Amino acid sequence: MARPKGRQLPNRVSVALTDEQVEALERLARGSQAAVSWVIRRAVAEYLERNCTAELRDKTDMSLSPATE
């Protein structure tokens, strides 16, 4: 499925996770009927909302809405 015009493509980041972390992410994703990538993006967005300064938050789109895969 093509992305809507005008939508910026996401950046890709590689991280190393333990087997337990991957299994937990997969369980969360199944429970939410979402992709693991969406669960990770949501977790990162929530972390940034809690830990970034207001100035940085104002400059960054920290939307928690699911992205189209």
**Spans of all domains in the chain:** 19-59
Output the pLDDT for position 69. Answer: 41
- Kindly give the confidence (pLDDT) of every residue in the chain, 69 residues in length, as a single tens digit, with 9 standing for 90 and above: 455 566 676 789 999 999 999 999 999 999 999 999 999 999 998 998 888 877 766 666 655 554 444
Output the pLDDT for position 21. Answer: 98
pTM of the model: 0.65
- Name 46's Cβ contacts closer than 8 Å, sequence gap at least 6: 64
28 to 5, 39, 47: CA distances (angstroms): 30, 7, 17
Output the pLDDT for position 20. Answer: 98
